[in-house]
């Protein structure tokens, strides 16, 4: 038996976040083991690139093609399976992944999916290893008869009996969709051989693919916006020694990527996670990998989060995801959070071990019962606690409770669709795009509120959380009690009337939000982005996630213009608040100059400058070191040396070379997703005379 498995990704742009396909690696490893136990010889190959999969099928036809379905590849999967069935109807096509859970794995959910994805024969629900293995064995026993296996009700699967000539209307013929009974999960995760340790994923270390590590599976929480853990009853664990070996195996082989992604829903939920964090730090010191670790942290045990963070020793940003601070919202989404007191205690302990500046939290706007006021309050409160704050618009995901018809009707008045970042391409002459469904109007928020928050969130992320203008915000807050939120709201009010390049930047940002991010349906999205004028922005890297796209427009192209605009806003604050300090404006200018110098700078060939010098009137280094207390003037101007260390230069070079995009803005956007922007800031020291 020949099986091809794909965790397909839009590699067409050469950008985006490329991850090693651990998900289908597990399916491959488990299936090979089970088929071998049944004396069935099998060959399994894993793919990320759609074109490579289609080319391989021409070269050597498989019996089964299985694809993982996610919001970033469903339309690509549909295109690939259409191509396969057009030429090889005898190949069994199987889908899997979080597209279906116990919530929507029913007749209505299956019909909706198969009407769009008519060439997917079977979809495995929930965790894929057990269900896929059973289908593969049954298909062998039926002598590879596609129509034969589609005539059965298969446990753990949705079966599509729509004829390939598309003559049957699924809306009228319920008997053409079979919904199999739930088969539950594996009794022991260790029944799945490690696809790292058995070498099945080795080829993906040869390019810039980011390794993914899973130490446990499931989630004890049931937030209505999330599908994580649905279909499982308890937290299941991979053996401790196995995980430690995988960490070593990955670190020894990963030379073209710097980030390790932890796939656990709540890392830090178990005591042993500190051991894994310590091992990752050990490998970071020994092999220079991982340079950084991307983590979804446990939500309710700050004591364990602290211990794990301590073991990481600064290679993983620490977060306490909140989503909202509004009790009504948390009740509606079935969410339990850390208290403000717990968050503050965690923050203080993290500062004591030197990682306070890396602490982050997350908020989602568009959740049920959230108001404009409560969302702004949450940002203000969390900034006061010292956290980086990441704001997101709510996405409605298939398979979640929030996606159900009655839930939608109760809380959401209007949704819209936007292009999933880097998820598009041209395949055999056909343009393929992936869409995200986002909220545009709720029971408490109007369209204008979302328009306001789109730019408001951008400024918070750029200026505070990503720290591009952090020192200015800290100076205003610490010395004059001008809160970052108040300053940012003032920017949103004044920028609309700016007649220069910064005003144009704002207009372009809002235009992109209204025209390129807010489609009524997927058809509108396809029509817009298929136009050559718009598609050329995608091809050139001139369009992407707005927050990072416009961040790098400012800090790479318009940093001087933005500083002039900020000084206009600062002068307005001085007048309104009657600030008496004669040095106030000069200090603000010096801080902004310092911040400007801290940003990474590139030469004409787009290579980072390694170091340079600049003169300053105020002792900004001392001010920062002493927790932003007194900002004193030098008797004589001092020169500061801005520099990257050798390791930092090597890390930057590796990531810049690995990303094949020719657009610098696009390169930096991709590098920012799973890695701290600290790598884009120079170290600073006072130059010795």
Task: Give me 685's structure tokens.
Answer: 């020291």
Share above pLDDT 70 across residues of the chain, in percent, rounded to a whole number: 96
Q: How far apart are CA 113 and CA 107, in angstroms?
A: 10
Region 384-389: mean pLDDT is: 87
CA dist 89 and 138 (Å) reads: 18
pLDDT of residue 36: 96
3-state DSSP assignment of residue 478: helix
The pLDDT mean for the chain works out to 91
pLDDT at 342: 80
**What is 211-403's CATH topology?**
TIM Barrel (3.20.20)
What confidence tens digit (pLDDT) does each residue in 111-143 have?
Answer: 999 999 999 999 999 888 999 999 999 999 999
Structure-block tokens of residue 8: 């397909």
Calculate mean pLDDT across residues 211-233: 87
**Which pLDDT tens digit goes with each residue over 43-87?**
999 999 999 999 999 999 999 999 999 999 999 999 999 999 999
Give the pLDDT confidence of 264-314 residue by residue, as tens digits. 999 999 999 999 999 999 999 999 999 999 998 888 788 888 899 899 988
> By mean pLDDT, which of 52-66, 141-155, 162-176, 510-524 is the weakest?
162-176
Lowest-pLDDT range of 165-169, 179-183, 226-230, 256-260? 165-169
Element at 159 (helix H, strand E): strand 157-160
Query: For residues 423 and 10, what is the distance between their CA atoms, to the nearest angstrom?
Result: 5
Query: Among candidates 461, 304, 335, 480, which has minimal Cα distance to 392?
Result: 461
Cβ neighbours for 600, distance < 8 A, ≥ 6 positions apart: 608, 609, 652, 680, 681, 682
Q: Band the pLDDT of 436: cuts 50, 70, 90.
A: very high
Task: Give the pLDDT of residue 311.
Answer: 94
Domain segments of the chain as ranges: 2-179, 211-403, 582-686
Going by C-alpha positions, the residue among 258, 303, 253, 251 that lies closest to residue 276 is: 251
Q: How confident is the model at residue 534 (pLDDT cuts 50, 70, 90)?
A: very high
DSSP helix/strand/coil, 379:
helix
**What is the rounded CA–CA span in Å between residue 479 and residue 550?**
29
> Helix/strand/coil (H, E, C) string of 98-148?
CCCCCCCCCHHHHHHHHHHCCCCCEEECCCHHHHHHHHHHHHHHCCCCHHH
What is the C-alpha separation between 380 and 388, in angstroms, rounded?
Answer: 11
Strand partners, 497: none
Greater confidence (514 vs 185) lies with 514
Neighbouring residues of 57: CB distance < 8 A, sequence distance ≥ 6 = 4, 65, 84, 88, 91
The confidence score (pLDDT) of residue 179 equals 86
- What would the mean pLDDT of 90-110 be, rounded to a whole number? 92
pLDDT digits (tens, 9 = 90+) for 483-505: 999 999 999 999 999 999 999 99
Greater model confidence, 393 or 660: 393
- Residue 124 is encoded by which pair of tokens? 């495995």
Residue 638 has pLDDT above 50, yes or no: yes
pLDDT, position 96: 95
Q: What is the pLDDT of residues 321-379, one digit of tens each?
A: 889 999 999 999 998 777 767 877 877 887 787 776 567 888 999 999 999 999 999 99
SS3 string, 528-550, reads: HHHCHHHHHHHHHCCCCCHHHHH
Q: Give the model's pLDDT for residue 606.
A: 80
pLDDT per residue as tens digits for the range 602-622? 887 788 899 999 999 999 999
Q: Does domain 2-179 have CATH number 3.40.50.970?
A: no
**Is the Cβ–Cβ distance between 425 and 13 less than 8 Å?**
yes
Question: Tokens 């927050």 label which residue?
Answer: 547
- Looking at residue 165, its pLDDT comes to 46
Instruction: Grade residue 689 by pLDDT with cuts at 50, 70 and 90.
Output: low
């Amino acid at each position: 038996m020949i099986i091809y498995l794909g965790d397909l990704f839009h590699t067409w742009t050469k950008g985006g976040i490329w991850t090693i396909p651990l998900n289908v690696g597990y399916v491959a490893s488990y299936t090979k083991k089970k088929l071998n136990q049944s004396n069935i010889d099998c060959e399994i190959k894993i793919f990320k690139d759609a074109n490579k999969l289609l080319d391989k099928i021409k070269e050597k036809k498989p019996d089964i093609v299985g694809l993982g379905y996610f919001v970033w590849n469903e339309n690509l999967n549909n295109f690939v399976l259409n191509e396969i069935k057009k030429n090889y109807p005898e190949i069994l096509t199987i889908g899997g992944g979080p597209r279906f859970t116990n919530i929507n794995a029913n007749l209505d959910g299956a019909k909706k999916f198969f009407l769009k994805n008519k060439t997917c024969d079977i979809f495995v629900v929930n965790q894929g290893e057990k269900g896929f293995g059973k289908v593969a064995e049954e298909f062998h026993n039926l002598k590879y008869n596609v129509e034969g296996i589609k005539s059965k009700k298969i446990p753990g699967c949705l079966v599509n009996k729509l004829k390939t000539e598309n003559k049957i209307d699924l809306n009228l013929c319920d008997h053409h969709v079979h919904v199999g009974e739930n088969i539950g999960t594996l009794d022991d995760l260790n029944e799945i051989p490690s696809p790292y340790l058995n070498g099945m994923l080795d080829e993906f270390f040869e390019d810039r693919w980011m390794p993914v590590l899973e130490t446990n599976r499931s989630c004890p929480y049931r937030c209505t916006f999330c599908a994580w853990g649905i279909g499982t009853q308890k937290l299941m664990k991979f053996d401790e020694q196995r995980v430690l070996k995988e960490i070593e195996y990955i670190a020894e082989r990963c030379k073209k990527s710097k980030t390790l992604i932890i796939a656990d829903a709540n890392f830090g939920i178990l005591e042993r996670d500190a051991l894994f964090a310590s091992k990752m730090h050990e490998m970071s010191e020994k092999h220079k990998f991982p340079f950084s670790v991307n983590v979804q942290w446990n939500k309710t045990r700050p004591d364990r989060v602290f211990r794990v963070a301590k073991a990481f020793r600064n290679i993983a940003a620490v977060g306490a995801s909140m989503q909202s601070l509004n009790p009504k919202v948390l009740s509606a989404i079935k969410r339990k959070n850390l208290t403000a007191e717990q968050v503050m205690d965690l923050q203080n302990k993290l500062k004591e071990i030197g990682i306070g500046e890396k602490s982050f939290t997350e908020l989602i706007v568009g959740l049920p019962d959230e108001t404009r006021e409560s969302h702004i309050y949450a940002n203000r409160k969390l900034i006061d606690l010292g956290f980086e704050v990441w704001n997101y618009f709510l996405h409605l995901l298939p398979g979640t409770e929030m996606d159900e018809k009655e839930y939608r009707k109760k809380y959401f008045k209007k949704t819209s669709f936007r292009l999933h970042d880097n998820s598009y391409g041209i395949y055999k002459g056909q343009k393929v795009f992936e869409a995200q469904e986002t909220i545009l109007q709720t029971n408490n928020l109007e369209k204008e509120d979302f328009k306001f928050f789109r730019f408001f969130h951008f400024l918070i992320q750029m200026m505070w959380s990503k720290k591009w203008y952090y020192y200015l915000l800290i100076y205003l807050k610490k010395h004059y009690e001008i809160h970052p939120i108040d300053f940012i709201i003032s920017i949103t009010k004044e920028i609309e009337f700016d007649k220069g390049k910064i005003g144009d930047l704002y207009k372009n940002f809002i235009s992109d939000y209204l025209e390129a991010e807010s489609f009524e349906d997927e058809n509108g999205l396809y029509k817009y982005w298929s136009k050559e004028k718009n598609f050329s922005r995608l091809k050139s890297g001139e369009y992407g996630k707005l927050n990072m796209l416009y961040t790098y427009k400012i800090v790479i192209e318009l940093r001087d213009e933005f500083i002039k605009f900020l000084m206009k806003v600062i002068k307005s604050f001085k007048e309104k608040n009657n600030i008496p300090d004669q040095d106030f404006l000069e200090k603000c200018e010096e801080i902004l100059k310092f911040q400007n110098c801290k940003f990474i700078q590139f030469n004409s060939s787009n290579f980072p400058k390694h170091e340079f010098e600049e003169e300053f009137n105020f002792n900004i280094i001392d001010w920062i070191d002493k927790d932003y207390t007194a900002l004193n003037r030098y008797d004589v101007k001092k020169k500061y040396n801005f520099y990257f260390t050798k390791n930092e230069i090597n890390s930057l070079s590796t990531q810049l070379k690995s990303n094949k995009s020719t657009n610098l803005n696009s390169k930096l956007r991709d590098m920012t997703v799973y890695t701290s922007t600290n790598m884009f800031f120079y170290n600073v020291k006072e130059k010795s005379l």
